A and B are shown apart, each in its own frame.
Chain A
Amino acid sequence: MRVALIGQPNCGKSTLFNQVAGYKADTGNFPGTTVTFTESSVKVIGETIDLVDLPGTYSLTASNLAEKEVIRYLSSNHVDVILNLVDASHLVQGLDLTLELLELGKPLVVGMNMMDEAARMGITIDGPHLQQILGVPVLPLIASKGRGIKQLFTTVLDAASNGKVVNRIPYKNQQVEGIILELSKNLQDLNLDWNREALAIRLLEDGSELLNDSESEHQELKEEVEIYIRQVTEQQGKTPGWVFSEERHFLAQELTKQVMTRGEERVTWQTRADDILLHPFWGYVILLGILWAFFQAVYLTGSAIEGPLISLFDGLIANLGKYTGVGSFLTDILTGILQGIAGGVAIVLPYLMPFLLGMGFLEDVGYLPRLAFLMDSLMQKMGLHGKAIVPFILGYGCNVPAVMATRTLEDRRDRFLAATLSVMVPCAARIAVIFGLVAFYLGSKIALLIYIFNIIVIALTGRILSWRILKKSPGLILEVPPYRMPTLRTMLNKTWFRAKEFVIEAWPILIAGSIFLELANRYNFAGFLNLLARPFTWVLGLPSAVGVPLIFGVLRKELSMIMLRQALNVTDISQALTPEQMITFTIFVVFYIPCLATLAALRKELNTRDMLIIAALTVVVAMATALVGRGLVILLTPLGILF
């Protein structure tokens, strides 16, 4: 038996799905977290059913990627029961979709979710009355707390076994109703897995596209549909799509009036919270405070774990020779493997895990859409909209989750641009270079200037890319959901769910890369690598020996710093590099090619081609900005402003 779970974005479908199927879908208090659908075999009350979690959709009209997928699924596969979740606190909009689903004529069960939130808002819903009007079972549910799930699935199983035919509620507009009935009569002998009236509505709404897959014998029918569409459009002054959704909306409003009573809102802290959190001035102050606290927490946790772990691994690597022979092939291979493991365990995970946990919290509480609201105007200047702020902020910790976060953007163009820009954000590893080299030798003022320079370059790159190469981003339309208190269990599950991607997909590449570089070192590729990097180092006026640290930096960004002393053969870098060279080197390191783990993430989120384009682009940007930086230092040094 197959049950399709459907509902509007952010109504708790994935939460319900995870409650019954274990943690398999990514959830968040951010509209449209599920982009593709997950099917899972679950055992509920002794029965095994295939439960399909469909992407959230406001209606069945194919206006975006997610909705097209839902329609394709509902019209192609055989679905036994449709389980429609409705957010009780947004009944009107929820019923819009429910009424549309009723039109499909398939067994339908409505789960009235978030009853607790509705109650808080002072909303009471007369479930039995609604059930009577709709003609399908309506059950109360609080999916986040697991309440009502058993009864819901008992009803779903009943609905599947009796397979009762469901009737749609006719529209109030008699003219339109007449046309629908007329067309549906002409569809009698069509062999499709659809209810006739439902098909008539769909054909009028989406045009004859639905029939395109079928053979040309439908040619006559297609023409007929076009005639009816014109008829509706002339009669009503708007396309059938608009007429139908207005009719449904009207019905939904009528129904809501009959079954819902709105009492006193119990808690108003939500609106009061938004008055401050979204305030034109205080909103930004709090935003900075939240981000600062967040970074501080991640940085402190990460560095506390990183230090001891790194020395542990360094000790292991240093002693390896004792057991496997100093300089032996086996030692080099093992060193490579240990380096790769250390990169993941000691450097990425200590920052990634607290980061994901913190982000998960901000996401589930509902702060991210508010962040998008506050930052929209700034992001517009970079050719993106507010939603793209999330990857940027993540980028300061680690570029890997930043690239993963671009998936919340619906548009491919936005995803590409946001990924390109977010890999230029200096992550924790690059901070090591900025601090270890620039701040240490030249002072924190210069380090701060490099940060500011970085932000300007990212903004300019965004502007240039979106100005000529990519079309303009459409404006922001984003639902701002109410605040919700996340449970620790979902947050931990979510963190693990996301960290798993790094462990499974990026880590092996990191280890393989370490082994390769270790071997390159063994067979004395250093001269060769320096020669390979020479065109770049020559233009930038850097010594040839920095080639190796730069190339190793692709593996792990902080290696550029760690290996610099070794490569230059000095303990005090200021003996080998001038301040001008240090700044040029650092700027280049900040922008050029993302690290291997990030490249792997880019490849997964976009594709190999885009990954290569982004890598090439970062080299161009790194060269250009390092040269500009070098020029600025040469110009400003005599003025005595910098040092």
Chain B
Amino acid sequence: MKLLNVDDNIQVEIISCKGGRGISSKLRQLGFMPGDRITVIQRAPFNGPLLVEANGRTVALGRGVAGKIEVKACV
């Protein structure tokens, strides 16, 4: 499941972050690592970015970027 398709306010676990070297390493540094739990808390209208909470940090991610993050439901 892609992060883009996750419902708001539901915690999910990252499986992998794809995308070019620039994007994946930037995500990695912001604390988007496999095993990390993240929550989509808001999304901007008109195909705007997603507001995601990861490890107490809030990050805005464009839809393109969110489409490259594979997640699964938390147990």
Which residues of A approach B to under 8 Å, CB–CB?
58-59, 61, 63-64, 89-90, 92-93, 96, 121, 241-242, 245-246, 249, 274-275, 278-281, 283, 369, 372-374, 376-378, 380, 385-386, 474-482
Contacts and interface: CB of A to CB of B under 8 A. Distances in A.
A257 to B, nearest CB: 12
Contacts of B62: 376, 380, 385, 475-477
Contact of A480 (B34, B55, B58): B58
Contacts of A90: 55-57
A476 B34 contact: no
Given A246-B33, A278-B51, A373-B48, A475 B63 contact: yes
Contact of A63 (B22, B42, B51): B22
Contact of A479 (B21, B34, B42, B59): B59
B33 A480 contact: no
B58 A479 contact: yes
Contacts of B23: 474-475, 477
Contacts of B46: 377-378
A382 to B, nearest CB: 13
A478 B59 contact: yes
B48 A376 contact: yes
Contacts of A376: 44, 48-49, 60, 62
A245 B26 CA distance: 12
Contacts of A377: 44-49
B46 to A, nearest CB: 4
Interface of B: 20-23, 25-31, 33-34, 41-49, 51, 55-65
A90 to B, nearest CB: 5
A282 to B, nearest CB: 12
Contacts of B41: 274
Contact of A58 (B29, B42, B43, B48): B29
Nearest to B61: A477
Contact of B27 (A281, A283, A477, A482): A477
A280 B58 contact: no
A605 B63 CA distance: 30
A316 B64 CA distance: 59
Given A63-B22, A377-B44, A245 B28 contact: yes
Contacts of B60: 369, 372-373, 376, 386, 476-480
Given A369-B60, A476-B49, 8 more contacts: A89-B56, A245-B29, A373-B60, A377-B49, A475-B49, A475-B64, A476-B62, A477-B26
Contacts of B61: 475-477
A17 to B, nearest CB: 22
Contacts of A380: 47, 62
A58 B22 CA distance: 13
Contacts of B55: 90, 92-93
A386 B49 contact: yes
Nearest to A262: B56
A242 B16 CA distance: 11
Contact of B34 (A246, A278, A280, A283): A246
A93 B31 contact: yes
Contacts of A63: 21-22, 25-26, 29
